[in-house]
Amino acid sequence: MNRLVELQVRRNAAGRDAWECAARHRQRVTGLLCDAAPSVGGRLCVLGAGNCNDLELTLLARRFAEVHLVDVDGEALAAAVARQGPFAGGAVHLHGGCDLTGIWQQLAAWSAEPSGRIGNPSYEDVRRAIDAVKAFVPELPGEFDVAASVCLLSQLIDGIVVSLGERHPAFLDLLQAVRRRHLQLLADVTAPGGTGLLITDIVSTDTAPSLADVPEDRLEPALMALVDAGNLFHGVHPAVIANELQTDPRVRAVEILKPWVWDLGVRQYGVVGIRFRRA
């Protein structure tokens, strides 16, 4: 197991008991998925399902004929299904051990020094990784009526921060390539006429302690003020993501949804959803 996968496994283990405090976040995410479901049957794919603390699997299995859960941490998926099952309704399929970048093994071999100085990969190394990201096609079972990436993009980008470092001259190039390919993948797995959802955490109480006390009706301007001030995770600016989605000719009706707070116990996250229709 490479060190980035080990990092994600440790994070999933640390958050495994956050089911109760994540209730509002789970209700919001599950509601968005159910609202997008076709009237009869349908297939759902969730990228970055992990512990499934943000998914009410019992409801989703009743709403969809098939529920496909994808994550690099297969053990977290299996444990989540064991906790929430058994299910009456649609079949739940697990796709564990799935690298959705195609380069996590390569990233894990790099190291960014703690001081933030350039790590060991050369600019040419990173350019080759970018080419690999662009060409990568994960093995997923077809197209889906609803496809969602749930708080995964920030984790993929964090892998770049950990392995490359923010000061590497090709850091931004690789970040943009991984983000662009992730958005393309989300459109790839969304069936024509289906709905895609990119749900991402954008900031936490680590850098915005007041976030935990913001009333719900003031959350949107409060988050936008943080974004405008540059207090957000790398590469997850909602307007930038929405604009990039709009450059894909297969994507229609891109909409930034009202934000909400995800309580993970030890910290809270500001979360935004971006929804689109596949042409």
How many Cβ atoms sit within 10 Å of the Cβ of residue 205?
18
Q: How high is the pLDDT of residue 112? A: 63
Mean pLDDT over the full length of the chain: 92
Q: Which two tokens stand for residue 218?
A: 């003031």
Lowest mean pLDDT among 28-42, 117-131, 258-272: 117-131
Which run of H or of E encompasses 184? helix 171-189
Q: Is 51 helix (H, G, I), strand (E, B) or coil?
A: coil
d(CA 170, CA 130): 10
Q: How high is the pLDDT of residue 113? A: 60
Identify which has the larger pLDDT, 113 or 180: 180
Q: Note whether 258 and 270 are within 8 A (CB).
A: no
User: Cis (ω within 30 of 0) for the bond into 86?
Assistant: yes
Q: For the chain, percent helix, then strand, then coil, each to nearest 5? A: 45, 20, 35
- Give how many domains the chain has, as a whole number: 1
pLDDT tens per residue, range 83-122: 997 886 779 999 999 999 999 888 888 876 654 444 578 8
CATH number at residue 48: 3.40.50.150
pLDDT tens per residue, range 111-161: 766 544 445 788 899 999 999 999 999 989 889 999 999 999 999 999 999
Q: Which domain holds residue 225?
A: 3-278
Q: Closest by alpha carbon to 201, among 172, 230, 235, 162?
A: 235
d(CA 203, CA 199): 13
Q: In this structure, is the dihedral angle defined by the CA atoms of residues 202, 137, 142 and 81, taken in order, positive or negative?
A: negative
Q: Which two tokens stand for residue 16?
A: 């495994």
